């Protein structure tokens, strides 16, 4: 499947983005104006908050409490974090003023524009595979199925604990945090297959371990518990 790929003017609020970064993701030769996220139009109509979450999680670094100047930029685009310190300084972001832990967190979330776009498509596909998910319109179904295969509600499971995810959990929130979060099997790799959705509790438990490391850690705990008769 070939995409149009024409440049889409950068929105005024994307202040760190190069002018020619954003691309059209409609199929080549399409009618009408170019669009960056055509496969999210349906979700925007039926579940706008989920649509916004997909775009945010696919393209932005997570927004810990970094709102003050000295704590660093909040929810910056992942591709901006691929620039080196000198390039960032030219954009007005002084990494040397941030605490090392925050720099590490921001750098860990870095990803190319293309990987972010591919992740957005894959996350949208996973949304429609959740139990009780809205049924995609024909355009959206064809777009996503051509990339990832058939969409069947009830097939998307938590990336970490493997139990089924329910679309309704997007609207469940405790202390203002959603019950479903975006997670990564390998925390530094933001690509389809490696990115997915997970329960908030599972995501917290995984922390910055890779999934194999996490399972080994759990297996070790269960093994020791068995030997201690606990």
Looking at the DSSP assignment, which residues form a beta bridge with residue 77?
Answer: 60
Binding-site member from 158, 180, 185, 195 for Zn ion (CB under 5 A): 158
Q: How far is the CB of 23 from Zn ion (least distance, A)?
A: 8
Q: How far is the CB of 74 from Zn ion (least distance, A)?
A: 27
Residues ≥6 apart with Cβ < 8 Å to 120: 37, 40, 54, 55, 58, 59
In the chain, the largest separation of any two C-alpha atoms, in whole Å, equals 68
Residue 184 touching Zn ion (CB under 5 A):
no
Residue 199 touching Zn ion (CB under 5 A):
yes
Q: How far is the CB of 184 from Zn ion (least distance, A)?
A: 14
Name the segment binding Zn ion (CB under 5 A); options: 78-86, 112-120, 158-166, 177-185.
Answer: 158-166
CA distance 38 to 24: 9
Q: How far is the CB of 26 from Zn ion (least distance, A)?
A: 5
Lookup result for tokens 């005024």 = 12
Task: Report whether 60 contacts 185 (CB < 8 A).
Answer: no
CA distance 16 to 78: 11
Q: How far is the CB of 32 from Zn ion (least distance, A)?
A: 8
Site for Zn ion in 5-44 (CB under 5 A): 6, 24, 26, 34
Task: Report whether 143 contacts 78 (CB < 8 A).
Answer: no
Site for Zn ion in 160-179 (CB under 5 A): 160-161
* Nearest to Zn ion of 2, 68 (CB atom): 2
* Nearest to Zn ion of 54, 165 (CB atom): 165
Q: Using CB under 5 A as the criterion, what x/- string covers residues 89-108 for binding Zn ion?
A: --------------------
Q: Using CB under 5 A as the criterion, what x/- string covers residues 114-153 for binding Zn ion?
A: ----------------------------------------
Q: How far is the CB of 183 from Zn ion (least distance, A)?
A: 9
- Chain residues binding Zn ion by CB under 5 A are 4, 6, 24, 26, 34, 158, 160-161, 199, 202
């Amino acid at each position: 499947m070939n995409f149009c790929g024409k440049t889409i003017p950068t929105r005024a609020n994307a202040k760190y983005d190069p002018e020619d970064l954003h691309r059209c993701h409609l199929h080549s030769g399409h009618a009408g104006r170019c669009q960056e996220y055509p496969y999210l139009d349906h979700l925007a109509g039926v579940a706008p908050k989920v649509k916004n979450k997909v775009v945010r999680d696919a393209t932005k670094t997570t927004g810990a409490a970094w709102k003050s100047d000295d704590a660093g930029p909040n929810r910056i685009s992942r591709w901006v974090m691929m620039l080196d310190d000198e390039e960032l300084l030219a954009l007005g972001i002084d990494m040397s003023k941030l605490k090392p832990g925050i720099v590490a967190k921001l750098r860990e979330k870095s990803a190319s524009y293309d990987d972010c776009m591919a992740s957005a498509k894959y996350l949208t596909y996973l949304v429609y595979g959740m139990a009780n998910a809205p049924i995609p319109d024909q355009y959206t179904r064809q777009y996503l199925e051509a990339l990832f295969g058939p969409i069947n509600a009830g097939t998307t499971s938590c990336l970490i604990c493997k139990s089924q995810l329910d679309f309704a959990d997007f609207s469940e929130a405790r202390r203002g945090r959603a019950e479903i979060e975006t997670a990564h099997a390998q925390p530094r790799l933001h690509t389809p297959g490696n990115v997915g959705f997970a329960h908030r509790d599972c995501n917290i438990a995984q922390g910055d371990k890779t999934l194999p490391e996490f399972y080994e850690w759990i297996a070790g705990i269960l093994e020791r518990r068995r030997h201690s008769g606990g």
